[in-house]
Amino acid sequence: MSHRKRVVPPPGLVTHVLGGVVEGENELTVGRPVPPPVGLTPAGPPPGSAASAGGPPAAAGTAPAAQTLPSISMPRTAFLFPGQGAQKVGMAGALCQSLPAAGDLFRRASEILGYDLLDVCVGGPAEKLNATDVSQPAIFVASLAALEQLRATEPGAFGEVHATAGLSLGEYTALAFSGALSFEDGVRLVQARGHAMQDAAVATPSGMISVLGMEVPEVEALVAEVRGTDTLEVANLLCPGNTVVSGARAALDRFEQLCVQKGGIRTVRLAVAGAFHTHLMRPADEKLAAALAGANLGAPQVPVWSNVDARPHTDPDEIRGLLVKQVLAPVRWEETMRGLLAEGVERFYEIGPSRVLAGLLKRLHRKADIRNVEV
């Protein structure tokens, strides 16, 4: 496999992504900067659009300026948000210095969490930032900070948002963007989710492996061959040739050995705490259900595509149930992207501290128009 030199844009810069191999949930791909849009004024979405009339609201809780945009044709757009693994030490520091709205999000989150979240994001150490109960709030807040950067620099992007989706944890960010979930409730929920998943991971030694270059039926056959009495399940269906398997550590060891024996099967052990999106995550789902019961979840103003069934949803009760199921169920990301493309989405924005989703989409549709807003 060829490797390209990574190009790191300045914080908040929107970039086109050329694509690349993605390992597991999150791995950086290669991008190049594009010029800013022409003819857009610093205003909110145009009246009558999916994002107008108070939604989706600014993550910081302030409505966009009540101005209008020039009459221009905008492509049907989807906003995508990354999942766990997108975090990196140093993220969000420069953005929070230059954009008060971003810094305010971290301040409000820190008050809820009981520690300085921005300090951990900027200074680490990596071991602390990568802990499930820390990385999940960090990615949630950093992604919404990146959303504020997009709102400030390219408000026209909000004008034709047709749908939104997030990979695993990113689904909560999508719900916050859509107006279904307040920022404060979102922080509390991802904190509770992170704690519950971390506890489940500690209870059973487990992990995740990315399998590259094989299609899902072939991966499922390998899983069935070595599973035995241990838990071993397909956890992430990311894109053609990229599937993630999760399970007990002993089963993962046997899986890797079988791939070596068969030859030519590339696997990558992921740096995660446990077997996410498998039944080893019980009782994290029950703990999350209790947390969700106390959260005020409304109807999203933009349809949110679920990881569980790869379909758009606007009913709060359905969304609440799917979020509980998501802890144990496979992430059907490839199917979600195919669904968005079939609905006529022409432009995608990946908003948050990585470019993994752009790489996954490029594997599915090489000419896809996807732009990144990083922190």
Instruction: Assess whether 168 carries a catalytic annotation.
Output: yes
Q: Tell which residue, 86, 98, 61, has the closest CA to residue 142.
A: 86
Backbone phi, psi, residue 97, to 5°: -70, -35
**3-state SS string for the chain:** CCCCCCCCCCCCCEEEEEECCCCCCCCCCEEEECCCCCCCCCCCCCCCCCCCCCCCCCCCCCCCCCCCCCCCCCCCEEEEECCCCCCCCCCCHHHHHHCHHHHHHHHHHHHHHCCCHHHHHHHCCHHHHHCHHHHHHHHHHHHHHHHHHHHHHCHHHHCCEEEEEECCCHHHHHHHHCCCECHHHHHHHHHHHHHHHHHHHHHCCEEEEEEECCCHHHHHHHHHHHCCCCCEEEEEEEECCEEEEEEEHHHHHHHHHHHHHHCCCEEEECCCCCCCCCHHHCCHHHHHHHHHHCCCECCCCCCEECCCCCCEECCHHHHHHHHHHHCCCCEEHHHHHHHHHHCCCCEEEEECCCCHHHHHHHHHCCCCEEEEECC
CA distance 46 to 372: 22
CA distance 232 to 223: 7
**Which position among 49, 110, 143, 168 bears the catalytic label?**
168
Instruction: Assess whether 206 carries a catalytic annotation.
Output: no
**Which position among 178, 277, 306, 313 bears the catalytic label?**
277
* Per-residue tokens: 252: 């993962």
Q: Tell which residue, 189, 160, 175, 179, has the closest CA to residue 295.
A: 189
Which active-site residues does the annotation give?
Answer: 168, 277
